[in-house]
Structure 1
Amino acid sequence: MAAEHLPHAARARRARRAAAALTLASAQLLAGCYTYVPRDAVVLAREAPPGARVALDVNDAGRAALAPTLAPGITRVEGTLVGARGDTLVLALAGYSQIRRPNTRLVGDTLRLSPQHLEGAAERRLSTRRTALVVGVGVALVATFLIGRQLGGRGVPPESRGPDGGDDQ
């Protein structure tokens, strides 16, 4: 059924659903615009600004240190860098990964990790290449949609009009 033949309430529902789907799809696509760039943990502690999103890979000594306070078998922690005290990173946790377990999401916990407990570190950065790709695909989809609407017309032929502009009788 064409949109112009739907009652107003049905068109409004369809528009709300489309807007919600577009919002969810946009959020997923924008999350894909970011990538983790490997960094040395000591350099990260000295140079990364507070508020930077980071992922830290934990070594065996780090797993042993985190087991009593957080969980056993932690392989990676992710979160926002609160700051650094010397070489120790202070992190507002967003989540962690464990050996043979799915990711766990957290809010509100703070963690201190020294470089001796890490085997790798990475900082989340905006990927210009991925962002350009997402924007290009989005522009192509919008252009295709608009061109399709122009070529396809409305689907309802105009009624024939008489010489005075009224309907033929």
Structure 2
Amino acid sequence: MSTVYDFTASLLDGSNKSLADFSGKVLLVVNTASKCGFTPQYEGLEALYRKYQSQGFVVLGFPCNQFGGQEPGDAADIARFCSLTYDVTFPMFGKIDVNGADVHPLYRFIKGEAKGVLGTEAIKWNFTKFLVDREGTVTERFAPSVAPDQLAKEIDKLL
């Protein structure tokens, strides 16, 4: 059986990062965008990261431009926006597709592990969140409308 740790993705700086580097940590995997109504959730995601980081929790941000063209910038633009606007310090990856023919393999996997409403796999919008336990198993999927601070109890259970 595969786990989240079996995948690799490119960081914003273009370097490859094995998710095995996060082995033993609780992860929150989120597809993000800089020009979305949910973009202010970066603040809540960063707050969760800072609160729980010392206990082995990491937020992984995956920018995506598939929903209304809401992530139009390149890697440098995304990095600058996240740093200057929300002081994001959690790992941010390069822009990916979360649906369609060019879906990133990580997202193909996690969507199959935690299906959405009525068993659908497709990501419906930016800031869909996947919670992953310390063994690399996807435990839950949360809709974009679920604010990061609403995840604290679920994170606590896994820590």
TM-score (normalised: structure 1): 0.26
Which structure is richer in relative contact order (CA contacts within 8 A, separation 6 or more)? 2
TM-score (normalised: structure 2): 0.27
**Structure with larger Rg:** 1
